């Protein structure tokens, strides 16, 4: 029996595949490689020393998705596949609704057809909108602020309806806070297209000399230093949370949402100094206007995941920064061309960050 991982070549998907293989699961990956690279698949095998089936298939292609279930004995699905850029979703709402919602409908229809009813869904803390108090627990009111967030919220609701229609389904809705970091091999990590939208890849690209300086979006928030506060979580901790959720859905029925965060908030300026300390690199920055739609503060109450999934994040901010940096230094162009030894003129402690061979 195998676990189907949709979007398994992506940032969180690839790290989860490594944890699944290391834990002895058989996996089958589906990815359309629109926002990911086939090289990630090779590297998952390189890290784990294991091979697995990977299909270059779009979830919208019902016939091909059906073939995966015909060819493999799928017992459960971890569903990462989806478009995820907030800003882009505002300009391309139909693309986001079609891809994320219809893709999920095709997946669930096929699962139903093959009597596979265990699903771990990649949701997001974005479903809390702009909460007024902290920490955020799973019973907070839900709200979407953009089409991307609305797709996550709508999919959560669709999965609830599915369970109401058939109580033999078992679904975990995992609401991620801010994943950063990378596998400590330096072989897989976040590989954004073009200029990064998110803080950590932006910081690492400044540190490696690809971007000139970081723009800190606002310093007038009601936070300790005026910059925005988020709950950053190591992607390997996040991946481990998926294995715990998989065990949970395998042994029960129902639909449950879980926050996957650390419960701690760090400001943008604290992240800059944590990164400088971990990497030995300076990160020049300037304060610019706040980004429209950004919350001042966002951090999780992770107690439900601890109690019900027996999961808690264990990696600290220093490990998150070190691992993000190692990935960036070893792969200055992401997966595009693997550079074994990268000599940055700015590097002070570079030997720490070369790919382990």
Q: Which residues bind ligand UPG (CB under 6 A)?
A: 84, 86, 124-126, 177-178, 197-199, 202, 214-217, 228, 230, 268, 291, 294, 298
Shortest separation between residue 167's beta carbon and ligand UPG, angstroms: 30
Shortest spacing between CB 86 and ligand UPG, in angstroms = 5
Which residue's beta carbon is nearest to the bound ligand UPG? 228
Q: Nearest to residue 178, comparing CAs of 203, 199, 205?
A: 199
Q: Which is nearer to ligand UPG, 33 or 285 (CB)?
A: 285
CA 269/CA 168 separation, integer angstroms: 47
Q: Which residues contact residue 161 at a Cβ distance below 8 angstroms, ignoring those fewer than 6 apart? A: none
Rounded CA gap, 162 and 143, in Å?
A: 20
Is 266 annotated as catalytic?
no
Give 224 or 291: the residue with its C-beta nearer to ligand UPG: 291
Rg (CA), the chain: 20
Rounded CA gap, 351 and 190, in Å?
21
Q: How far is the CB of 291 from ligand UPG (least distance, A)?
A: 5
Contact 310, 248 (CB under 8 A): no
CA angle 333, 339, 342 (to 5 degrees): 95
Query: DSSP class of residue 136?
Result: B
Q: Which is nearer to ligand UPG, 113 or 291 (CB)?
A: 291
Q: Among 176, 272, 196, which residue's Cα sits nearest to residue 228? A: 272
Cis peptide before 209, with omega less than 30 degrees from 0? Answer: no
Of residues 114 and 285, the one with the C-beta less far from ligand UPG: 285
The catalytically annotated residue of 25, 96, 128, 148 is 148
Measured from the CB atom, the residue of 16 and 170 that comes closer to ligand UPG is 16
Q: 86: part of which helix (H) or strand (E)?
A: helix 86-91
CB of 22 to ligand UPG, least distance (A): 27
Report the run of H or E that residue 229 belongs to, with start and end. strand 229-230
Minimum distance from residue 340 beta carbon to ligand UPG (Å): 29
Catalytic positions: 148
């Amino acid at each position: 029996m195998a676990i189907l991982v949709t979007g398994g070549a992506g940032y969180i998907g690839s790290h989860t595949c490594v944890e699944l293989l290391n834990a002895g699961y058989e996996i089958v990956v589906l990815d359309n490689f629109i926002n990911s690279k086939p090289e990630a698949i090779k590297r998952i095998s390189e890290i784990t020393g294991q091979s697995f089936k990977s299909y270059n298939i779009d979830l919208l292609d019902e016939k091909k998705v059906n073939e995966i279930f015909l060819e493999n004995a799928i017992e459960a699905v971890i569903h990462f596949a989806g478009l995820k850029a907030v800003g882009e979703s505002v300009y391309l709402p139909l693309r986001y609704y079609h891809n994320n919602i219809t893709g999920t409908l095709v997946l669930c229809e096929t699962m139903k057809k093959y009597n596979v009813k265990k699903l771990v869904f990649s949701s997001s803390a974005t479903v809390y909108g702009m909460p007024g108090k902290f920490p955020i627990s799973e019973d907070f009111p839900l709200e979407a602020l953009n089409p991307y967030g609305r797709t996550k919220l709508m999919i959560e609701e669709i999965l609830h309806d599915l369970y109401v229609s058939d109580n033999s389904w078992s679904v975990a809705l995992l609401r991620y806070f801010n994943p950063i970091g990378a596998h400590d091999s330096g072989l897989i990590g976040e590989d954004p297209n073009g200029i990064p939208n998110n803080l950590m890849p932006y910081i690492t690209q400044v540190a490696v000399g690809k971007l000139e300086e970081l723009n800190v979006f606002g310093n007038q928030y009601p936070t300790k230093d005026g910059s925005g506060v988020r709950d950053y979580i190591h992607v390997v901790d996040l991946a481990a949370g998926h294995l715990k959720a998989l065990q949970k859905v395998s042994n029960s029925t129902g639909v449950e949402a879980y926050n996957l965060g650390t419960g701690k908030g760090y400001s943008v300026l604290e992240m800059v100094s944590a990164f400088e300390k971990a990497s030995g690199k300076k990160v020049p920055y300037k304060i610019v206007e706040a980004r429209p739609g950004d919350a001042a503060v966002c951090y999780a109450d992770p107690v439900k995941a601890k109690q019900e999934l027996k999961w808690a994040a264990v990696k600290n901010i220093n490990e998150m920064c070190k691992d993000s940096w190692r990935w960036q230094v070893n792969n200055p162009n992401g997966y595009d061309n693997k550079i074994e030894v990268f000599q940055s003129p700015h590097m002070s402690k570079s030997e720490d960050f070369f790919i382990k061979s």
